[in-house]
Amino acid sequence: MKTDRLIALIMMLLEREIISARELAERLEVSRRTIYRDVDALNCAGLPIFTHHGAMGGVGLMKSFKVGKTVFTSQEIQALLSGLHGYRQLFGQRESVYAMEKLNALHSEGEHRRKQGRYVIDMALNAGNESLRKEFGYIETAMNEQCFVIFSYINSNGLTSERKVEPYQVVFKEGSWYLQAFCTEKKDYRIFKLARMSGLHVLGEKFVPRDFMSLPMNGGDWMRTDWVRVTLRLDLSVMDRVIERFGAEHIVQIEDQTCIAIYPIIPNEHGYDRLLAFGTKCEVLEPAEIREGFQEYIRHILAKYQQEKA
């Protein structure tokens, strides 16, 4: 990690003629004492770094020391910075700060343009996923060191089991995090929702990596295949949910204040919960068995509140 910080420091000094130790410390998230130690280390390595004291002082690199900055185009650097910014929000790892500063130093445009792209991806964790950050770190360590992971898992039917897996990939899908891994119990690849895990622990036992290929997570093969195409009448205010989930081609017809949409679901409580999320802005038109099943599902929910009154 120190090597990454030193490289980032060099790139920052290439970017500006002179920069204060305070700014270097803030950008690299270390103390000024650490900055001065790094400068001494770089001087010992033969880099012509100078320091000036006083209000206008700081740290600089002799102009005779130059490195080409044409490795990436401006657009490529901005794309890399956007991705690193999202990674930083998710994992909070200092290494990403060093990488961002190196890329910033390669950027040929001004400070304001360098830090603000035209497209911003906000990957900051919500309160629920914030609690999963520790698990992210454990899983990343296990993947890097090729170690088994064990945890307790509650499946969609509420059943708990103990799992020992070879972790291969973490995927963010529709607001939730999933681990793709090889399960030693099932002798096959499985997808686990991180929020359903508990007691996650990285074992010292290592595994030999398999020829892993990312598992499909398109809502079909990785879950179930008995989807039913449901025709809905929706308020226009929620039409965007259909487009974001299935595509604009699932909007069949637009009327004055409503639209007709095709919304595939699995005909169980999870599928009905999807429809229920639309609230009063949704009416199931067909097929008849789904319309009747959804009505029965709503009656079961209502019965809980009617029993309290009685």
Q: Which of 91, 121, 151 is the last residue of a domain?
A: 121
Report CA Rg, the chain. 27
Position 222 scores a pLDDT of 44
Residue 157 lies in a domain: yes
Residues 84 and 138 in one domain: no
pLDDT of residue 220: 47
104 and 17 within one domain: yes
Q: Is residue 215 part of a domain?
A: no
pLDDT digits (tens, 9 = 90+) for 202-261: 999 999 999 998 888 765 444 455 789 999 999 999 999 899 888 899 999 998 899 999
16 and 88 in a single domain? The answer is: yes
- The conformational region for residue 146 under phi > 0 = left, psi -120 to 50 = alpha, else beta, is left
Q: Both 18 and 110 in a single domain? A: yes
Q: Could you tell me the pLDDT band of residue 111, with boundaries at 50, 70 and 90? A: very low
Chain centroid offset of residue 226 CA: 29
Q: What is the per-residue pLDDT across 142-159, written as a single tens digit (0 to 9) for each?
A: 999 999 999 999 987 788
Q: How many domains does the chain have?
A: 3
223 in a structural domain: no
Q: Is the pLDDT of residue 127 over 80?
A: no
CATH, residue 137:
2.30.30.100
Q: Is residue 212 part of a domain?
A: no
Cα–Cα dist 216/165, whole Å: 18
pLDDT at 77: 63
pTM, to two decimals: 0.54
pLDDT the model gives residue 84: 64
* CA pair distance 151, 279, nearest whole angstrom: 36
Structural domain boundaries enclosing 255: 228-309
The arithmetic mean of pLDDT across residues 171-175, rounded, is 77
Listed residue (168, 164, 161, 170) closest to 148, CA to CA: 164
Domain boundary among 206, 236, 257: 206
Question: Which string of DSSP letters, residue by residue, matches 38-57?
Answer: HHHHHHHTT--EEEE-STT-
